[in-house]
Structure 1
Amino acid sequence: MAARRPSILVVEDTAAIRLSVAAFLESRGFSVTEAENGRGAVRALDRRGFDLIVTDVLMPEMDGIELIKAVRASRPEAKILAMSGGAPGLPAGFLLKMTEMFAADAILYKPFRNEELEAAVERLLGRLPPN
């Protein structure tokens, strides 16, 4: 019997980034589900659990911080990787520090290399030692 592939929910409002992250993670053997914002992510989480949630911070309808709070309330065991490139007047460092305050497990500054994404995912899933 084949081992279960870890499942990852990728939440990102920019389609090109979402598709790129999802395709890369699928190429590494992960089962990936996509959502374009926090509201879509909550709907996906209502249907099933995920080993890891990779979420952008700034998104319409429901942002990444609201999503992190919702996940921590309903699925406290879920691992969360927050990613951001910031916005005018909102530097990425400030946004990502806020995600850590709301219990994101790790952060990733955009733009990032695929290797950085893969290392963060592998660490969060316990397949690499912490740095």
Structure 2
Amino acid sequence: MNGAINLVPTGGTAPYTFNWGSGITTEDRTNLPAGTYTVTITDSNGCTATVNATVAQPSLLNATVSQTNVACNGGNTGTATVTATGGTSPYTYAWSPSGANGSVITGLTAGNYSVTVTDANLCSIVRNITITQR
């Protein structure tokens, strides 16, 4: 929960009071989950306005990995490509055990690999892949 609403009331006569319901009377809100929130703003003359504010969230971070296996026994022609969707770009990539950091990794030998994809909000997802050989 890291959503926030920052109100900037205009018009009417300051000072303003705020009623979000449930006894919450602050102007701004923080640490909110996604959803729609309603606040009633009252100016010093008793005039009111009701405002709806929506805290959105990015779609779920996802990643798919495609691969090309090693063409010949003992070779290093394997490749893997990760495609990230959702979350918030830009994405970063960390391959293990190679330490590569791009969305494509080449020169792979047969074995097990994993990639951690992290988005701009520091949400991450791990995908595993097995490169085989003929």
TM-score with structure 1 setting the length = 0.22
Which of the two has higher C-alpha Rg? Answer: 2
Compare the two structures and name the one with the higher helix fraction.
Answer: 1
- Give the structure with the larger strand fraction: 2
